[in-house]
Structure 1
Amino acid sequence: MKSFETERLILKPAEVKDADFFLKLYNMPSFIKYIGDRNLRTKEDAENYINNRFFPQFEKLGFGNYVVILKEDNTKIGAVGIFEREGLDVLDIGFSFLEKYEGKGFAYESANKLKEVAASDFGVHKISAITTKDNYSSQKLIEKLGLKFQKMVTIPNDDEELMYYEN
């Protein structure tokens, strides 16, 4: 599994040793509100999530969820990934960042790089994204990535209608 770099960031495949980081990231109030509660309450929960959700996709597709790291000081600031998601026919790009690092262009920089890598290294030219109706910053980023709103969707095990975008 390869890492990728941008001008300011390193995108490193998620590993079990990142469990503490994912525990923190996935329990932010904004993550739970806009993305959902992944029920990670302990480091062990996070380790199991990485082993059971992230690794199988890396093994199957060669890509998945990446930890986004600042080059300048090696700080883990967020995650970006392209995922097979139940209920969606097209691979889905997703991102989440610690609140301290939002609004600084890191999400766009990392998601755009991953989108480029998916196309050049893996032949993935069509991607989708989903977001809630009230997550305006996510909607703006998805549109900046070149995806266009298509329709409202509901994915399995989620009652909320989500905005579905595709390029």
Structure 2
Amino acid sequence: MENFETERLILKPASREDAAFFLQLYNMPKFIQFIGDRNLRTIEDAEQYIQNRFRPQFDKLGFGNYVVVLRETQEKIGAVGIFEREGLDVMDIGFSFLEAYEGKGYAYESAAHLKETIGERYGVKRISAITTQDNYASQKLIERLGLTFRKHVVLPDENVELRYYDND
């Protein structure tokens, strides 16, 4: 598994050493509101989540969820990934950032780079994205990435209707 780099960022594959960061990121009020509560309450919960949810896709496909790190300071500021998601036929791009780093172009920079890189290296050309009805910032970013709203979907074992986008 390799890192990917942009002018300002390093995208490194998520690993168990990132557990404290994911515990913080996934418990932000905005994350829980717009993405959902992943029930991570301890470092051990986060380690298990990484091991059970992120690592298998890396092992199977060679790519998955990446921690976004500022090159200049080496701070972990967010996560971006392309995922196989139950209930979707097309690979799904997702992102989340610590609030202090929102609005600085990091989400677009990392997501656009990952989308392009995974397309070139792994042949993944068709990408989808899902978001809640009221997550306007994500909707704007998804559209900026070249995806178009297609329909509303409800994922398996969920009860929230989401907006579905793709680049087909």
The two structures share one fold, judged by TM-score above 0.5: yes
Q: How does 1:28-107 map to 2 (within 5 A)?
A: 28-107=28-107
Residues 3-37 of structure 1: per-residue CA shift (max 9 Å, x gap):
00001000000010000000000000000000000
Q: CA deviation at 1:157?
A: 1.6
Length, aligned pairs only: 167
Q: Distance in 1 between matches of 2:35 and 2:121?
A: 28
Match in the other structure for 2:24: 24
How much identity, in percent, do the aligned residues show? Answer: 72
* Structure 2: gaps of 5 or more residues: none
Q: Distance in 2 between matches of 1:156 and 1:43?
A: 27
* Aligned-partner residue type, residue 22 of structure 2: F
Q: Distance in 1 between matches of 2:119 and 2:54?
A: 20
* Aligned-partner residue type, residue 55 of structure 1: R
* Aligned-partner residue type, residue 118 of structure 1: I
Q: Distance in 1 between matches of 2:109 and 2:41?
A: 30
Residues 28-72 of structure 1: per-residue CA shift (max 9 Å, x gap):
000000000000000000000000000000001100000000001
Taking structure 1 as the reference length, the TM-score comes to 0.99
Taking structure 2 as the reference length, the TM-score comes to 0.99
Match in the other structure for 1:109: 109
* Aligned-partner residue type, residue 131 of structure 1: T
Q: Distance in 1 between matches of 2:157 and 2:43?
A: 24
Q: Distance in 2 between matches of 1:138 and 1:89?
A: 21
Match in the other structure for 1:133: 133
Q: Distance in 2 between matches of 1:15 and 1:90?
A: 24
Match in the other structure for 1:157: 157
- Hey, which bits of structure 1, 4+ residues long, moved more than 4 A? none
Q: What's the C-alpha RMSD, in Å, of the aligned pairs?
A: 0.3
Q: Matched residue of 1:17: which SS?
A: helix
